[in-house]
Amino acid sequence: MVGENLIVCGDAAALANPINGEGHGLALLSGYYAARTIISAFARRDFSEESLWQYNIDIWQKFGYLGSMGIAIHKFMKKYPILDFEYLFASGIITQEDVNSVLGDLGYKPPIFSKFIKALKKPKLMLRLIRMILIAKKIEKLSLSYPTEVTEFNKWKRKIVKLELKEL
């Protein structure tokens, strides 16, 4: 999201919720982080990619987890029929609280055992859901280890792309 003399924010930086496309809040917050980085760059009189890299770090530390879960959920929603989602919600395996918590709380732990019992009627669907969660957790782990140096970025990006391409 940064380059020589360049910082990209909001929609231009693809900072939108992968599930619902909402991006107003992300745009405003990315603008704040950009302004903070630019003020620092002015103080140093250095607008190189390396100097502006802190913006990328700030964005990934703040939004990387949301993006990782969103990417996994979006893939799941694209691949499987709406009836699967209706079943997950209708049977109480997934609740609106689960969705809200997963998308906003790094420490959220759903009550797994009770959900597992409810899910026994559709084991294939549950295996897909578990696979989605495992991929999201791996993406989350990588998101939390966003590179602090520009030179480390391509290696990190290859790992993220590999996970994003995994089949559910």
User: Which token pair is 35?
Assistant: 């302004």
Looking at the whole model, is its pTM more than 0.85? no
Task: Report the mean per-residue pLDDT for the chain.
Answer: 82
Supply the pLDDT for residue 14: 84
- Please determine, for residue 93, whether its predicted confidence score (pLDDT) is greater than 80: no
Nearest by Cα to 124 from 65, 73, 60, 168: 168
Structurally, the chain folds into a number of domains equal to 1
Query: Whole-angstrom Cα distance, residue 48 to residue 9?
Result: 17
Query: Whole-angstrom Cα distance, residue 144 to residue 20?
Result: 23
Supply the pLDDT for residue 92: 80
Model confidence pLDDT, tens digit, residues 47-66: 999 999 999 999 988 877 66
Model confidence pLDDT, tens digit, residues 105-125: 555 565 665 666 666 677 787
Q: Are 50 and 126 in contact (CB under 8 A)?
A: no
Provide the domain limits for residue 44.
Answer: 2-164
Q: What are phi and psi of 96, to 5 degrees?
A: -60, -35
